[in-house]
Each structure stands twice: as structure tokens, then as C-alpha cells.
Structure 1
Amino acid sequence: MPADCHSGQSVHYMLKMQKRGMEVSSARPFDAQAFNANFNHHAAEFGAHREAIFDDLRARCPVSRTDAWDGFHILTRYEDIAAVAKDDVTFSSEPGITVPGLPADQMLRLPISIDPPRAFFYRNILARFFTVRWLKTLEPWMRDLVDDMVDGFIETGKADLQTQLGHPLTAKFIMHITGLPMERWYELSEPVIAAVGHGKDDPSGILRRGEASRILAAEIERQKTDPSGAPDEKVIPYLLSLEFEGKKLTDAELMGMVELLLDGGFDTTLAAMGNSFIYLSKNPDKRQQLIDDPELIPSAVDEFLRWVTPQQGLFRTAMVDTEISGVKIAKGDKVYLAWPAANHDPEAFPDPHEVRFDRGPIRHLTFGVGSHLCLGINVAKLEMRVAFETVLKRLPDFKVDESGVVRPPGLGIVYGVEHVPITFTPGRKRAAAAA
């Protein structure tokens, strides 16, 4: 921590967090200042106490530094984070967007791991599959998928919203649009979720991520001679059909683009959904508000994306000596763009820790900003909207069994939740209800 950061008072948030339906890991108040003396974004307690941790830093030292993971700067103000994310000249993605970095054979993610203008080439290739117009054609398919999954458990009065709804929804959607074999959705998605959700102190997640890469590489090779779908309908056949100046995309380019879709599509929205359903169970007045007025659901989705901020943030590397809000940043220094801190900055969002469905258009940074704004922004909103509408209509009195909520033992790139068990009044399957 820089010497000029005043010590302030230790921030204790236990009572406030309990009132908001947030989880706490100890009967004792959490000491954010003590944690921030050696800030570690992969520590398990970071996920449970992000609000307190970032509020403490923002109040005492909005641009701070930690020695963890060979050292990096931590940004906590919305204005600073947005400015760095938009400045691709001063702050580069190419030296690596995670700390610690990925293994060399897993680093290339296109376009997010390279800088403009090269990044725009790959972004423009993929963009056609993520427009609101294109996704609207897929909404009926998605609704049938979600209803089928609910039919599978609605008569039992109990379910796990992650394993029986969120996980298959997000995974099967990616399989559907890419042209990957639907029957392998779990085999391909589970290692990815383990990698992005587990803490960096647990190497098993990264090792298991290689399993998904090997499956994907074999599938791309197979589709070179036997494509799964028409090029104008599926991502992989489309990528394989492209030629630029008489040249096909390389295997590295193909893998880099599809790997990014897997990393972003399998777990981020799943994490947002799980945390949102936990909140709605703990705050039945908010849930009833959405049941009474379903037109609020799109606004609620945006607010939950801000409030949860499932992705912990990404990194940039300073390419020259520079400053951020008066703090010197040396060439080569890593800078942590903490999306959750930006989304809970009171200068950007009044009462930032409260869930409010009346905020209007929200300029949150859950999907980043600038040239690397997440391509999947419309996918995430569609998946969450369809899931919310279906659950609130068909399981309106669901209650989360908090004793069964399970999170990864550490914290990776995503603030995820592995199990969200619920009980509810049993209902009928669609066909039976229609009869």
C-alpha cells in the first residue's frame, strides 16, 4: 500500500451485508483494512466481502498497490477504471489480462487478448452472432429449452437452480450457436467453469481447462471436413468458411476465438443468475415486485448484472510511464480494472450496494467498456431475462436453502456459485397444465 494512503478506520460490514442478503463467512466483523494490507483478489474472503474491501480502498487509497502475485495496482473508482479500459495506447491487453497469467498454450483469446486495430478484425468476424436482431430469432428456442428444464423438476417441489437450470442453459446455448455437439455440453463446459471459478492457488482448475481445449481442437478438426451446420447459422462452420486474401484462418485463430466464447459464455451469466436468485429468495419483497410487474424484469436484469458483477475484473499493462489520479504508474506495471469496484462506486451509482429496479439506463462496467466491450452482453441479458421470467412465473414461491449453497473453495476470474438448492410448491408440466 502506498505510504501516502491514510490509514482511516477499519471498515466493518457484517451487519449491513446481512441486511442486504449478502453472505458472510465469519461470526466476527470483517476487517477490510487488514485484508487490504496484502490485497489478494483470489482469496476466498475476497468474494464474500468485495463491497467492504473496495469501499475501504476507495475511501483511503483509490489507486493502491499490492505485492501479491508479483505486484499490481488496484483501481477502485468508476472514472479511473473506465478511462484506463478505453485507453488502448497507454494500457495494453497483450502482455496478459489475468494475474497470474495463463499457461502459454491458453493465453490467446481473440479479440480480448490483443489490442486494436488487430482486435477489431476478430471482433467484426464474431459480431454477427451477437446482435439483438440475431438473438431475437433464437429466443423461442431458448424459452423452450428453459421450460423443458423446469418441466424436469417442477413436480418434485425441489431443484438446484445452478445444476438443473443455469448451467445447462448457458452451456447448451453456446453449444447451439457454435455448432459444437449438444450431447457434449457438460463434458466441455464443466472444465471451463472449474478453471474460471476456482482460485489460482488451486492448479486443478487450470489443468482441467486443458481438457476442454483438447475436446475443442478435435471438434474443429473434425468440422473441417464435416461441418455441423450451415456457415450462416453456426460460428465454427462460419469461421471455417472464411478466407482473407486467399487464406483461411489459422488453427490458433480459430481456437482463440471459440475459446473466448466458451470462457465468457459458460460461467459468467451462470454466476450472475445464481447470485441473483439467492438475493430474490432473501428479499421476497423484491421478488414480488417482479412478479407483480414483469415489465420490470429487463431493468432488474441490468441492475443485478451491476450489483453482482460476476467477473472480478481484468488487467492491463502500462506501455509507458504514466499517472492515474496522481499516482505514478511505471512502464510494465500491471493495473487491475476491478469491475465490481466501479459498479459499486457511489460517485457513479447512488446507494450502490442497494438493489434498485428504478435506476433507469445503467452505465455499469460488468461487460467492460471501450474496444473490448464484451460481445456477449446481449446474450447474458437474454438468458437472464428468460430464466427470470420462467422461474418467477412457474416457481413463484421458491426459497433457497442457504445451508446448501456451495461456492468454489477459492476465487478465480468469476464470482460463481456451484449449487443453489431451492424448494417450492410443486407444479405441473406444461402439457399437463395446458390440459
Structure 2
Amino acid sequence: MIVLDITVMNVALPRIQADLGFDATALSWVINAYTLVFGGLLLLGGRAGDLFGRRRLFIAGTALFTTASLAGGLAESSAWLIAARIAQGLGSAMAGPSTLALLTTTFTEQKARLRALAWFSGMSSAGFAVGLILGGLLTEWLSWRWVLFINVPFGVAVVVLATRFLREPERRPARLDLPGAFTATAGVAAIVYGFIRAAADGWGEPATLVSLAVGAVLVAVFLAIETRAPQPLLPLRLFADRNRAAAYVNFFLGPMAGMSMFFFLTQYLQDVRGMSALGTGFAFLPMALLVFATSRFIPRVLPRFGPKPTALVGTACMIAGVVLLTQLSAGSGYFPLLFVPMILMGLGMGLAFSPLNVIIMATVPPADAGAAGGVLQTMQQTGATLGLAILVTVFGSATRSATGTPEEIMVSGMTTAFVASAIIATLTFVVALTFRRTR
């Protein structure tokens, strides 16, 4: 539910824009309002689970997420929808780190933990792609509002089943690092806002430069706070292990590259190629199937080959897929210039990112499980949010100088954004080279 809700909105974006009156650059806030709050508060959510109880926070967060989904589906204005997405992000930040922590502390035997984390990776990775298909089905058959309403019955079921079956693990003394939480969230928010302003108004706008500068200062202050805090939100010891540190970095870079595909291709398929929301959803089916199928082999592949070959093959597939997308034109058909990148991205995401959950969480001490899970998901969500903001900025800059029909101008901006995605994806390959050859 939590990961799916990042992408399920993408297919519905054109309908939301028409219904609630978003402009082209403000539309990205339908995605960013959720991922920004989610990513910004995940570290705090991880420590709050240690303090108040992981089971309790998991149930409370899921309940808030479900209630906010209902409110978002009833939205009558753009501000109402953004507020509901913010509340969804808050609920996800409460439940997300506790999910991983509960898995890690429930399954203590190494083989069982590996299988449990692999299942989690499969669900998480598939959620990105399945969200696009589900969004298409619901938007076409019912309304864009149902991409939010669909969370309600599942959320209620999760709360009821968790109350009955989940056990509360042993609680450890903890304190909330509120200065760290404030500076991290405000810093990332300021940077993302600066990129969004740059997309709309250009780099010469004073508000853009001030926002980026303030964001950079706040992030630096956050890191300084974390080096001195007795119980930091971001324990630097988690980065002492080389494989875990590399996995964290790639969990930041990977979504930066991947979000461009979800955000721009849904608009390309509907606004340029004239496909329905349902057709757009099914266009992503090959990728969704491959992401999930590939992640199911991780418990066998990872012990046999180790993280380095697995991640290198996966990131190479991602790079190839994004590079192919830079060749799109307004007249490109689904075969082969969209179908082949879908296949490559499905294989790449399954191989490159599904092992990262296992690498990070399999050996983490129980006392750090909440913080480790919070850092993992923070990297993922902050990367997705910041990546989308950067790519929307690249898109906006390219379209301002492009000429031709509206469709040709839009595609010119998208292909320029895909070039930036390819550069970011190449960085994930470079980081994957630093994994130790262990099994």
C-alpha cells in the first residue's frame, strides 16, 4: 500500500489536472507532497517506533494513511488533495520503518529473515509498477478518486489483522531527535521547492536560489546534529559496513532515475499517444511482471553470486532502458521503443534494488532495526522526491526553448529529462562497483 501509493497516482494525473485545475509544474506536487513528507519524517518514524512501540506505531500509521486516503478521494480542490496527500505521507512515515523493524525482530533465524526480507522486497518493488496498472484500471472504469478509495478496505483489513496477530517486540529506551527531524525535513523540502520553482520560473528567480541555499544549509546542520545526538535519527555507524553504505546510496540514486519513467511516460502515453488510462496501465504490465518475478529469485541469486554481480547486471539494464527512452519522438509506437525499455527496466529494478533491503537489514542489530529501516526508506523516498523535482526542472527548461507542435515540445522536454535520468542511473552502476565480492 505504502509504495504503491507513490505510483498509483501517476496514471490518474491528467484526469486530476483537468478536474482540479493544476498547472503543469504544480501537478508534480500530487506526487511530491506524499513522498516529501514520507521521506522527510521516516527517520523520526523509525525512532518513534523504538520509543512508543513498533506495533502500536504501525497500526496508528496505517489508520492515519487509510483515513487520509478517504479524505483525498473526496477532494474538491487542489489544496484539499495536497493536504490529504501530506496526511498520507505522515501515516506512511509512521508505519513504514516499523514494518521492516517488525520483520527483522520477528524472524531471528538468518534463513527465515532472508526469505521474509525478500518477500518484502518483492512486494515493495512490485508496488511501484502494479500501482500504474491499478491506477489505469480504476481511473478508466470508475474515477481517479478510486485510486485513493481503494486503500480504505485494505487499510481497515491491515489494522484489524495487525491488532489480532502482530506481537509487540521488546521496547528499548529511546529519545526523539526533534532538532534532527526538523532540519532534515525542512532542508529536503526547501531543496525540492527550489527545483520546482526553477521548473516554473527559471534559475534566475531569487526565491529559487534562496530556497536551494536554505535547503543546503539545513541539510548541513542536520548532519552536524547527528554527529552529536546521543540517539541520532541517522546513526552514522550504519554506514560503517561498506556493502550497507553502498546499498543506502543506491537506494537514493535508483529512485531518482526510475521516477522519470513513471511520471513522464504516463503523460506521454495519454497526452501524446492518446491512450486511455486503462491502456496506459497495461502498457506497464511487462515491467510490473518482471519486477515481481525477478525479485522472487533474489533469495537464490544473492547467496550464490553476492550483491556485486547482481547489482551490476541490474543497473546496466536500467541504464540501457533509460538511454533507449531518449530516442522517443511524438510518433513513436509502443513496439519497440517503449516495450523494450519496459523489459529492461523491469529486469533492472528487480535485480538492482530488491537485494538492497536484504543487504541493509539482514545483519543489522535488533536495537538499530527501527533506525535502519527508517534510513533505508528515507533514502528511497527522498531520492524519488528530489529526483522528480530535478527532472521536472530539466523538463521545464527544455520545453521553454523547444519549438514545434505542443506534442513535439512535450516530447523534447521528456527526452532531455531521460538524458538526466541516464546520467543518474550510470552513477548507480559506479556505486555498485564498490560492493565487496561476498556471498
TM-score by length of 2: 0.29
TM-score by length of 1: 0.30
More strand by share: 1
Bigger Rg, structure 1 or 2: 1
